[in-house]
Amino acid sequence: MADNDFPGWHGTTIIGVRKGGKVVIAGDGQVSLGQTVIKGTARKVRRISPGGYDVVAGFAGSTADAFTLLERLETKLEGTPGQLQRASVELAKDWRTDKYLQKLEAMLIVSDGTELYVITGAGDVLEPEHDVTAIGSGGNYALAAGRALMDTDKDAEQIAREAMAIAADICVYTNGNLTVETISA
């Protein structure tokens, strides 16, 4: 199969919601190749504890690329314990300038319970304006739903779960098999 005939991997929606002193990162379980669901129970949200400080991370994109980035983030956090922003900026700088890392196709949402960031290969470390962020195939649907739910009395986990359910109803590359991690400040 020629490279231009490869249908491409799809199928991730990750949302991060910060509300009431908690951050919830939730991800669906679907991985698709073209029009075929390859796996419905993938785990795309992880808790890491470099240097004894918990961080929750969710990833969209190539799994191998995302794990490479998570390992790099963990190394950065071991060098700067408890400083998620600094470690995220250092990772983004490396990702942008290192010829090997530049080829990685993934995005990350990370949180230590206080800070919430999206890290991209373009060198971005983005903090959401409205305490909700989302990435992946159904990311825009989950983001819109999450933002609409923020002014309700629902907590961060309820918002994340409902937003993901809405995204799963709309995006064919998103399912309802969720992995949910909560982290407090």
Q: Which residues are catalytic?
A: 12
- Count H helices, E strands: the chain? 4, 12
DSSP tag of 51: G
In the chain, % helix, strand, coil (3-state, to 5) comes to 35, 30, 35
How far apart are the C-alpha atoms of 63 and 77, rounded to whole Å?
21
How far apart are the C-alpha atoms of 80 and 55, rounded to whole Å?
13
Given the structure tokens 């995005």, which residue do they identify?
107
How far apart are the C-alpha atoms of 62 and 57, rounded to whole Å?
15
179 closest CA partner among 9, 53, 24? 24
